[in-house]
Amino acid sequence: MSMNPALWAALGGVAALLLVLVGVALALLVGGRRAEARERDALAAARADVEALRAQLDELSTELVTSRVAAALVAPQVEYVITSAGEPATASAEMPPVDDRAVLSVTLGEPLVKVAALGFGVRRALSAESRNRIAFAMRREVKRARKERRRAARRTRVAQARTAGAEEAA
């Protein structure tokens, strides 16, 4: 009993397909196990990091507690009031003397700031970038004025030619 060659080809194709599917399944299984192993290693590393951070946090917490205890043992701080708002003024309260250096500093400080600002402005105005920008604007304005003069001269010539042509025709 001999089988049809088409049947043999179909059986061979099915067998090859089964082999390919088994190979893919094995590859996925091996790849999945490797991924699980990598995830386990990453999880173990993360847990180790968490434990290290927890130890560092405990150490810092104990340092903070000891520093607070030491600060509590130091003499308590007295709260000072700077203003005397709402209290009656006393006649004996004198204004503190003003130092000559403070007056000089205030007197010369404002003009010095103005001079510094002026110097900055002059330095910026004389920079190469600013000079180039101004020169470009000037050239553009000169070209515009020249074109305008030429247009005006052309309009004048055309108008004179019309009036001369109108006079000759009359």
Q: Are residues 63 and 111 in the same domain?
A: no
Long-range CB contacts for residues 117-123, cutoff 8 Å, separation at least 24: none
Q: Quick check: is 15 in a domain?
A: no
d(CA 7, CA 15): 12
Q: Quick check: is 124 in a domain?
A: yes
Structure confidence by residue, pLDDT tens digits, 4-17:
888 888 888 899 99
pLDDT for position 99: 84
pLDDT for position 92: 54
d(CA 14, CA 93): 111
Q: Quick check: is 161 in a domain?
A: yes
- C-beta of residue 124 within 8 angstroms of C-beta of residue 130: yes
Q: Quick check: is 141 in a domain?
A: yes
- C-beta of residue 132 within 8 angstroms of C-beta of residue 138: no
Please give the tally of structural domains in the chain. 2
d(CA 73, CA 76): 8
Q: Are residues 111 and 165 in the same domain?
A: yes
Q: Quick check: is 88 in a domain?
A: no
d(CA 68, CA 64): 6
Residue holding tokens 């010539």?
157
- C-beta of residue 99 within 8 angstroms of C-beta of residue 105: no
pLDDT for position 77: 64
> Which residue range(s) make up the domain with 44?
39-73
pLDDT category at 86 given cuts 50, 70, 90 is low
Q: Quick check: is 134 in a domain?
A: yes
Q: Which residue stretches of the chain are H helix?
A: 5-73, 100-125, 128-169
Q: Is the pLDDT of residue 78 over 70?
A: no
